[in-house]
Amino acid sequence: MTDSGLSAYRSWATTPLTEPPKYSVVIPAYNEEWRIVPTIGAIATQMCTLGQPWEMIIADDGSTDTTVELVQELELANLQLLIAEQNGGKGSAVRRGMLRARGDVVLFADADQSTPIEQFRDLEQRIDDGYDVVVGSRAADGAEVENKSFVRKVFSTGLNLIVRNVFRIPVSDTQCGFKMFTADAADRLFRRQLIDEFSFDLEILYLAQKFDMKTAEVPVRWIDAPGSKVEAGKVALEFLRDLAIISWNDVRGRYKSDNHERPDQGVDSSMPPMAV
């Protein structure tokens, strides 16, 4: 291990930030006791090499296994753990994390490390170019996808065709769990979000387009992680249902104002580990 890398990690792990973070990494977690600790280790190590203040937010989604206890026992100084009393859906967990984030740039990443965190800078580059939302994509030219099942490929291809042609969202992969936002974009989008299940990504991208936010897609390397909780057929049906719900919500004007409040940050810049 490089001394500088080790030193940066040790400092991050033991010393609360004394300045606002530049980056926030939000990880939704539902019954991830088997995967969450290696993912935290990999992300923490990589993010500490960037040389900027950053925070990690684990947004529990009502886990019934030992996910919460495992994260608490790590006692990492700049990791916030948001505990949910009950399972509300991935979209609800991501929203709580995104609205808690303090960074100028906010990434949400799946707990299985299926999109390696080493690609953070690739997405940030597009934020630097002036984009508001940057989507990691398994379908864009240059993407590398490993171990994705045939069934999931068929479903995702079909659904994305519908998204592009019916919703006119210029993104070839709406569901990849690796998306980056400016703080302003995250705040505006996730306050309006209404979908709490897997297709919340679609709603967020729909809203980004509705609000004329600049959205970019970046090809990523993606490795299917065994133990995925995604049931392709069930999710596809929910996805189609939610397409209709999003359209209906828009017709009814439900995206004209905020649907969620940003939680009180407590004005504590040091932000010790907390349970919310």
Angular region, 267: left φ>0, alpha ψ -120 to 50, beta rest: left
DSSP string, 122-135: HHHHHHHTT-SEEE
- Which residue, 66 or 259, is less far from other proteins as judged by CB? 66
Query: What sign does the CA torsion over 85, 264, 91, 9 have?
Result: negative
Residue 51 sits in the site that holds other proteins (CB under 8 A): no
- The residue among 69 and 118 lying less far from other proteins, judged by its C-beta, is 118
Q: Are 132 and 48 in contact (CB under 8 A)?
A: no
Based on the shown chain and the rule CB under 8 A, indicate whether residue 227 belongs to the binding site for other proteins.
yes
**37 vs 194, which CB is nearer to other proteins?**
37
Judged by CB under 8 A, does residue 45 bind other proteins? yes
3-state secondary structure of 28: strand
Q: Shortest Cβ distance from residue 230 to other proteins (Å)?
A: 16
Among 16, 22, 37, 50, binds other proteins (CB under 8 A): 37
Asked whether the CA dihedral 132, 59, 199, 228 is positive or negative, the reply is positive
- The partner residues of 178 in beta bridges, in order of sequence, read 109
* 77 makes contact with other proteins (CB under 8 A): no
Closest approach, Cβ 26 to other proteins, in A, equals 19
Residues in the chain: 276
Q: Which residues bind other proteins (CB under 8 A)?
A: 1-2, 5-6, 9, 34-35, 37-38, 40-42, 44-46, 49, 74, 113, 116, 118, 146-147, 223-227
